[in-house]
Structure 1
Amino acid sequence: MAHQFSLRVYYEDTDLAGIVYYANYLKFIERARTEWVASLGIDQMALRASDGIVFAVRRVEADYLRPAKFADDLVVETVLQAATGARLVLVQTISRGGERLFSAVVTLVCLSETGAAARVPPQVRLRLLGQVH
């Protein structure tokens, strides 16, 4: 299932030309991932407190297709592509009015408090199982 997160481009997101600064696309998809996880009923702070694990970005492959501009209404779509014992692979796109502007494949890893790879906890895995495409 695809999760959708809507946002508006603010002046602070743009450069002098009124075009979204390239690094802000990464912020937009981060916000969308946070909302996606919350929509699955996963409390990341509680997970850290109870299991001592966090998720971190391991890799991002990004394609900037068309520029977003000041005052645009955007939709970030997040789809879980694959889940392994300690890794999640997501496809995230940003669109304006159905036109794709940005696309990324994001690999997240589950880490322990010491920074070592850790398995995704069973309760989280169960919530994710229905999300894999």
Structure 2
Amino acid sequence: MDINQPVFELPVTVYYEDTDIGGLAYHANYLKYFERCRSEWLTHIGVSQTSLKEQNTIFVVRHVEIDFLQGARLEDRLIVKATVAKAQKASVTFCQEIVNHDGDILCKAMVKVACIDSEKMKPIAFPQNIIMELTQSDR
């Protein structure tokens, strides 16, 4: 992660519902944890996705690159992190990590989120005020 950019952190606990037959967090749940972190970050900076939707503006995941490095287990307490890696006209790419209580990286991802008009389903400019808040505000 780029330490020059603000990093948002969200604590997450692995529950029984999150695990697979082997007792590890099911791989698809890491994507859910990453999504929760990005959504909570927006809420933290005062952005309501419901209000944006009323203005026909929504965010959609366009691309994900993910590396699973270690497994999380039932009752593990994790920290999900997010920072802005790159901001473009109609998208923001987030660098995200999930770490355990020892600070070991369990999973890392690059997630490109596009901003689109929800009626036309076409890309539109990412709101600059949101980009500024994500890249300049304190966490």
Structures share fold, TM-score greater than 0.5 = yes
The residue that corresponds to 1:66 in the other structure is 70
Shift of 1:127: 2.3
| CA distance in structure 2 between the aligned counterparts of 1:99 and 1:121, rounded to whole angstroms | 34
The residue that corresponds to 2:105 in the other structure is 100
Q: Does 1:115 align with 2:121?
A: yes
Amino acid at match of 1:39: H
| CA distance in structure 2 between the aligned counterparts of 1:67 and 1:77, rounded to whole angstroms | 17
Which of 54, 66, 76 does residue 80 from structure 2 map onto?
76
| CA distance in structure 1 between the aligned counterparts of 2:63 and 2:57, rounded to whole angstroms | 18
Q: Note the alpha carbon deviations across 1:68-104, whole angstroms, 9 max, x for none.
A: 0001000000001111110100001000020100000
Which of 23, 32, 40 does residue 27 from structure 1 map onto?
32
Matched-pair contact (CA < 8 Å) for 2:9–2:82: yes
| CA distance in structure 2 between the aligned counterparts of 1:4 and 1:129, rounded to whole angstroms | 14
Alignment size in residue pairs: 130
Shift of 1:15: 0.9
CA-atom RMSD, angstroms? Answer: 1.2
The residue that corresponds to 1:43 in the other structure is 48
Shift of 1:129: 4.2
| CA distance in structure 2 between the aligned counterparts of 1:15 and 1:108, rounded to whole angstroms | 28
List gaps (5 residues or longer) in structure 1.
Answer: none
Matched-pair contact (CA < 8 Å) for 2:93–2:113: yes
Shift of 1:38: 0.9
Shift of 1:66: 0.3
